[in-house]
Structure 1
Amino acid sequence: MSYSRSNAAAAAKEAKVIDLFQQITLDQQTSQTPSSNDNKDTPNLCKNTTNTDCYCLFVGEKSSGKSSLISLFMGKEDDPKPTIALDYQFARRPRAQSTNNSKDVSHVWELGGGLDVVDLIGVTLERGLGESCVCVVVDCGRGENVVGSLRKWLELVQMRIGMEFEKVEKTDPGKAKMMVEEAERRFGLEHPDSSSVNISPVPIVIVANKYDKLKDEDSAGRRCMMQALRFVAHSIGASLVFSSTRDKQSRDLFRSVARQSLFNQGSTAAPAIAEGEPQQQLQQKWKKAGNFGDSAPLAIKPGCDTFEAILAALPKGTVKSDFVGHNGVSPRATETWGKALEVFYGRSTLDDKKEEAKLELDDEGENDGGGKANSYPEPAVDEARAAANLRLTQYKKEVQRRQEIAAAAIDVEKPRERKSRKSSDKERSSSGERRRRK
């Protein structure tokens, strides 16, 4: 993935600021004594109890509910504010079975959904890839954009994970090998689909948020969306959970899956496999594990689903090879799921949003806040920016006017040059004729 110099410089500057902020935060933590309420209600976000610090990144489209989910998990009841670029929170609790009062600190980052802040994904992952996890949030209320949004964010996240993982392979091959082995165990070494999936070395959780809106949809459309999300999650060895802050059942489900699958407060492994278990019994176990209904919110751990169960009922006009074949998952599988969802939810509007964002940036220039310029209006700043935009517009018009004048002058000069050239040729011809006569 290539980055422009300006983006790289901005990301580096942001990283320095975050480093300083994080150090100040940790200094504050060491000087504070946790209350009994903190110990009881604040969940431990760490996925590895042997490490003091661990990191979790929430990504997704704007207004998909990332802030609400974080508040739900952190036990906060206040209404979350919109995230502009990169938001940070932390949770801490005494380390399990600790004899020296040591604490685990979890750093939770939330990335704003704009395309102009995606470079900040690496700011969190590069701090400790082996102690990181990523939560990708999609909005079930926008069924037409679910698959496209999920594909976009997974591509961005996996690309950055790949870049950071290559660094780990060069600097610490042992750690890289351990991460791969842990990911394979998390999915299941004997899983029938293990050779067809591309498991991420960093745990990924897909949260289908606002499930309360999905419950009112047509059953066929809801079933198709669940199939699509199950397929994408299973193909990368990710966890999948449907959630809603307005539904108690799905709220509890999100908390449970977040603790067990995302933050390792329980078993994250696939169904247990007894040594020497017959292959037939093993296949039946996976088949049973992947048998999910379409009426209740889903919560599926890595490796607890199968392509056989997901593709038991194919979307109209498709065949199994459109999704998975002998060589693994089809490169066009997510695109096929997107077209299948268009039947129920219409055409995706993500491309339209990209064009609007591009036009907005072209008209207004770079946005230092990572969001809309008028999210937090400042009269003096707005006036200065408006004046600068006016001067820029006038300058562009002046440049265009000069270019038009220059082009017109060239068009006028060309006939004169041709006429002058003809006169010169005629004079030379006459002079030559006179010399020959003499």
Structure 2
Amino acid sequence: MPKISSDKLWDLAAAEVHSRETGGGEEDGRESVSERTVFLMGSKAGGKTTILLRCLDRDEPSKPTLALEYTFGRRARGHNTPKDIAHLWELGGGISLSDLVQIPITPVSIRSLSIILILDLSKPNSLWGTMENLLQAAQAQLEKVLSLTQQGQKTKSSTKHQTSGQPAARVLPKDFPDRELISPFPVPLLIIGSKYDLFQEFDSDKRKVVNKTLRFIAHYYAASLIFTSIKSDSLMSKTKSFFSHLAFGLDRGKTVSSDPTKPLFIPAGSDSFGQIGPPPATDVDITSRHVKTPKDQWKKAYEQIFPPENTNEQRELKDPAKDPRYNEPQIDSMRAQKDQELDQKKRNAAKSWKGLELDK
């Protein structure tokens, strides 16, 4: 991910403070700058950074995300108009760093926050675990922020200035399909199935299971679902349009495709449980197992076909002090000298203890 200069960060911070103080709207006859936040998370090495760079039209090589990285995008509405800003956060490490969701999900960002969950279609055995862990972590933080905000509202007098711009729980249209049977995610959610070029080589029966399961998950959370591949310009074009919709409020188009032989493209509210059908049939009678909800039933059925892999991902990342991207010759030489001094002290201490033991 590209580094952001301190000048640009200060400009963004100043714009954010100014926006909060003025409460948005127009000032001095000028259009206000729209600011949104998009938080990307998903499968480890699932293509998050590459997809983000393509959506931002940045022609630069992608690098592994160290932990949690920030960048931003700007888009002008027209000639001589202010540029809208999208604050973009990307979580690396798959599920191993899910605790970091508390950084991009805050009382300020939640007012205009969207989440993109990128799942690697070429690794179906880890797909459910990745989805479940990350969504649970994000939802817990979202509910915590909403709860704290509501408590803060109760302790303040209900003036227009104090209540304007406060975050509120997501509300679906009354005609949303299966509205009484789903559990909407607190903020707009987009699920992207990446590496479709590899996924389409799978056995057709296995593809159908993944397709139906992801359709169920997306509809259950009132989320949108699309499949993409960085090797397909047409799929990336559709992905970019949906990204621009979340980041800048642009039209996402009206394309809908639920054909299991083609890449899925299903905006929220375009599917239904009736169209998705029941969970995939398995040799084991899942109805006899202890399942409390339809989601649990789908999980049992999916894991019968795609047994989950070990989700205990290594939480230890590479030492950033040794990362060539952050070379600082003077600091690195001093660090090497201190490391040598530390090793020498350890050796001396070991000799002292051995000497004491010999005396005894």
| Structures share fold, TM-score greater than 0.5 | yes
Aligned to 1:135: 116
CA–CA separation in structure 2 for the residues paired with 1:397 and 1:21: 51
Aligned to 2:39: 57
Q: Does 1:120 align with 2:86?
A: no
CA–CA separation in structure 2 for the residues paired with 1:52 and 1:206: 24
Aligned to 1:337: 302
Give a deviation string over 1:354-397, Cα, whole Å, max 9, x none: 4xx4xx58xx9xx5x4xx96565866477578669968998999
Aligned to 1:203: 188
Give a deviation string over 1:90-128, Cα, whole Å, max 9, x none: 2222347x9x83332111111222656433322222132
Aligned to 1:41: none
Paired residue secondary structure (2:176)? coil
Paired residue secondary structure (1:155)? helix
Paired residue secondary structure (2:172)? helix
TM-score normalised to structure 2 length: 0.73
Where structure 1 has 5 or more consecutive residues not aligned to the other structure, the ranges are 1-16, 30-48, 272-288, 406-438
CA–CA separation in structure 2 for the residues paired with 1:330 and 1:262: 30
Aligned to 1:251: 236
Is the alpha carbon distance of 1:202 and 1:377 closer, same or farther for their aligned partners in structure 2, counting shifts above 3 Å?
closer
CA–CA separation in structure 2 for the residues paired with 1:116 and 1:20: 32
Aligned to 1:183: 171
Instruction: State the one-letter code of the partner of 2:42.
Output: G
> Is 2:146–2:167's contact at 8 Å kept on the other side of the alignment?
no
> How big is the shift at 1:341?
2.4
Q: Does 1:68 align with 2:53?
A: no
Instruction: State the one-letter code of the partner of 2:86.
Output: S
> How big is the shift at 1:313?
6.3
Is the alpha carbon distance of 1:381 and 1:209 closer, same or farther for their aligned partners in structure 2, counting shifts above 3 Å?
farther
Match 1:348 to one of 299, 309, 313:
309
CA–CA separation in structure 2 for the residues paired with 1:377 and 1:387: 21
Instruction: Give the number of aligned pairs.
Output: 327
Give a deviation string over 1:227-270, Cα, whole Å, max 9, x none: 1111111111111111111012321221233234675312699x
Aligned to 1:37: none
Match 1:299 to one of 265, 272, 291:
265
Q: Does 1:91 align with 2:57?
A: no
> Is 1:140–1:146's contact at 8 Å kept on the other side of the alignment?
yes
Instruction: State the one-letter code of the partner of 2:309.
Output: S
Aligned to 2:19: none
Match 2:144 to one of 135, 157, 163:
163
Trace 1:206-217 onto structure 2 (pairs within 5 A).
206-217=191-202
Give a deviation string over 1:205-225, Cα, whole Å, max 9, x none: 111111110011111111111
CA–CA separation in structure 2 for the residues paired with 1:309 and 1:320: 21
Amino-acid identity (%): 20
Instruction: State the one-letter code of the partner of 2:131.
Output: L
CA–CA separation in structure 1 for the residues paired with 2:348 and 2:188: 51
Which protein is richer in helix relative to its size?
1
> How big is the shift at 1:197?
1.1
> Is 1:141–1:213's contact at 8 Å kept on the other side of the alignment?
yes
Instruction: State the one-letter code of the partner of 1:314.
Output: P
> Is 2:101–2:138's contact at 8 Å kept on the other side of the alignment?
yes
> How big is the shift at 1:133?
0.8
CA–CA separation in structure 1 for the residues paired with 2:224 and 2:349: 51
Q: Decide which structure has the larger Cα Rg and report it.
A: 1
CA–CA separation in structure 2 for the residues paired with 1:229 and 1:392: 56
> Is 1:59–1:112's contact at 8 Å kept on the other side of the alignment?
yes
Instruction: State the one-letter code of the partner of 1:212.
Output: D
TM-score normalised to structure 1 length: 0.61
Is the alpha carbon distance of 1:106 and 1:315 closer, same or farther for their aligned partners in structure 2, counting shifts above 3 Å?
same
Q: Does 1:224 align with 2:246?
A: no
CA–CA separation in structure 2 for the residues paired with 1:94 and 1:262: 13
